[in-house]
Chain A
């Protein structure tokens, strides 16, 4: 069994998750602070890729980064590189499709964040960067973690937009999901089943990791309480 689709899917999903992690959080953080109307509009625009059929995303992408599109033609002219039908085309597709998942879950977490913690930090003279990374992020950990995992899982399973911009080139652009479809079409059920199994294993593994992480993160809170009670003891004695 040629393992290229596994390798390709993992690299595409990993890279697009890293991209959506930062862009999604940045968008969520800044948009959570904007006035209501602006927020509503931006929210709608940024969430669209989640509700649109992936084929629509693929279509827009092809029209933009395809060799005849405004971006694609310029890149082709300047660098002689095609942005479609190559393995990294899938990154554009999966990033756009997974962005709303990261953005929405992160925004939910930011909105639920207790701002008094932020103000207390400011009274202590802590910098905004410090507050963001050491106060806000740890408090919103669960939402952000959930968003990241959702984004990764979705990127791994993305089919519609990906297949439109990458085609199906064995050994070059094939991903797990496009391979399953291809093998089914060829009537090669045995191979299709194997890839289905690979997919199931990865998905199950991701979910188990999430559960483990959640459990691990719950414990430090208890530990913190213990520390507090110890201090109380010290004060009492």
Chain B
């Protein structure tokens, strides 16, 4: 009995301490919740650091790595002030002004007039650094003996859609699927990790991801000109935001020359208007 009372007491203490630790500390800072494409992890973290110097009382809280989930979560009412997607498709699904052709469900989450293109990107074929013994050098090599396994993004994430588009355009998609040579990653970082770990022979990612892991992977080919739609990252303030002023301020910071320089240093290019 005595012992169980002690256990109970320490449990109670544990919960009290726990709730103290996890209770939100009010510092007077405004938190801005930004859902961003996984490929922007490094550059957006840098941007938040710079923004913190400029506007210290606003804290940017990111959610990366949930590209399909991001839309689902926003649809289901997750708190998101600014949404940045790696493809127009995902943004169109939330933007009623994009027209009924691309916005089939009529979801209206984008605050009118706040949508803009933030950066653009390239599609590249990568191999594990220093382990390209078979000499993979072209997107077309995936159906040859040089490759037994290629990592692509899943069809529900932008990088997967661009990869499929490239392979459809060079006419190898159906053959690749029949050969069971593709492993599908849930997002671009997973594809990158699989290539970096040499678990696969090659993979298709964005130029920016290849640049971020230049010590582990090697770019062997760029997607042929015109083999995929231009990759433009749209951003927009969400209609449901409770911090419209702060969100708009951050959005305009993202379009400043200072941010353009940051994005370029991570391998992005300026978005074509």
Contact = CB atoms under 8 A, between A and B. Distances in A.
A66 interface: yes
Interface in B220-270: none
Contacts of B185: 167-168
Consensus secondary structure, chain B interface: loop
Given A168-B184, A169-B149, A172-B180, A186 B199 contact: no
Interface in A46-77: 62, 66-68
Interface residues of A, number: 18
Interface string B98-127: 000000000000000000000000000000
Given A167-B185, A169-B182, A173-B183, A182 B154 contact: yes
A185 B156 contact: yes
Contacts of A85: 149, 183, 194, 199-200
A66 B197 contact: yes
Contact of A185 (B149, B154, B181, B199): B154
A82 B264 CA distance: 37
Interface in A161-181: 167-173
Chain B CB within 10 Å, residue with most, of A66, A85, A186, A187: A85
B186 A185 contact: yes
Nearest to B198: A67
B180 A186 contact: no
Nearest to A65: B199
Contacts of B183: 85, 167-169, 173
Interface in A157-209: 167-173, 182, 185-187
A94 to B, nearest CB: 18
B68 A185 contact: yes
A191 to B, nearest CB: 13
A70 to B, nearest CB: 13
Which 3 residue pairs across A and B have the least CB separation, nearest first? A167-B183, A67-B198, A171-B180
10 contacts: A66-B199, A68-B128, A84-B199, A85-B183, A167-B184, A169-B180, A170-B177, A171-B180, A172-B180, A187-B156
